Structure 1
Amino acid sequence: MASANPHKAVEIAAVLAEAMPAVEIVPRPPELGDVAEDGETLADNALIKARFVCAAAGEPSIADDTGLEVDALGGAPGVYSARYAGPEADSAANLAKLMAALVDVPPSQRTARFRTVVALVYEGAAPQLGAHEHPSVERPHVLAEGVVEGAIAMAPRGDGGFGYDPVFVPREAAPLTFAEMSAEAKNRISHRGRALRALLAKL
């Protein structure tokens, strides 16, 4: 698993374990350094991470990149969701910037969606950990996408999930935010769950 985000890792492992119980999901080796997610699209970033870890760990690697697209903000923060408030910003800062940007936007105009692209990169991996190559090196891969439509709440609600979950109200579960749902309920309709199930269908 290429993600260094422990919350994402838990969600990815849960969905894959349910669908493919015979497959072992291995956490990202802690000795790997960070890789710059400087792609222009979600697919670019997912592939950068998966290629990097596949090459370094010598195993097939799965990674995702997720963006929150808010219509009133022209689709922002989008691919910059994880660093919306700056390269060193945490989730709280990103959330605060989002809510400030929408402070005068009424509920009817707060439509948004979460979009996730998942990448699986495999074969041709380096023989030992640490044999890094440039993450743009082409390898066999599979991409899949998942989208969930919804809206941005007027204020954060709930203490579950992570990132923008306290303010995102998925259409299928309204008026609950993702942060007010159980992990199992969220995974059934979430962007990441849908992307992973689409990936499994391709495999």
Structure 2
Amino acid sequence: MKGIIGKKLGMTSIYGPEGRQIAVTIIEAGPNVVTQVKTKDSDGYNALQLAFGDKKEKNATKAAIQHFAKANTSAKKVVKEFRDYFEEKTLGDTITTEIFAEGESVDVVGISKGKGFQGVVKRHGFHGVGEATHGQHDRDRAPGSIGASSTPSRVLKGMRMGGRMGNDRVKMKGLKVVKIFPEKNYILVSGSVPGHIGSIVFIQK
């Protein structure tokens, strides 16, 4: 699987070849440094370990500093493995936007924005109990009944209720690479990408 670590910079819109406006997300894709090459003989599987984003040396452990020094690079913030990378790379190589082409489809993985504790209307799309008759009040956004009494005498697992929403790992599949700016390492992909501005994302193909 070929991929790269990037940073979400925000959203904008551009005009496509047919003159239609397309909403795109700007991702700073790289440069990534190859900090470890894993093979089936030494590790049991083939993979490339990539690193992205500079980090102050005082904030890194000695073990991490020595690990990055083997690749002749400074300490990095994010490290990610891409298994079965089907391109020959050596320790210390740099990977940028050249692995992508305009018009191809990619998958983008990120951590979605956290929404905190939310009720059933926002979290699951419930319509609320409704009905203002029979003495009901403040029931517009209530979940309603959550189970039987004597049978099963418990709340079943997976019951849709209020709770923490967001801050989950999300993969957006089949996003189109609309435009590439290799001089700035920018990739513009169609549609939205999970995460806040400045969050780390993984682009896979």
For normalisation by structure 2, the TM-score amounts to 0.24
Structure with max Cα Rg: 2
For normalisation by structure 1, the TM-score amounts to 0.24
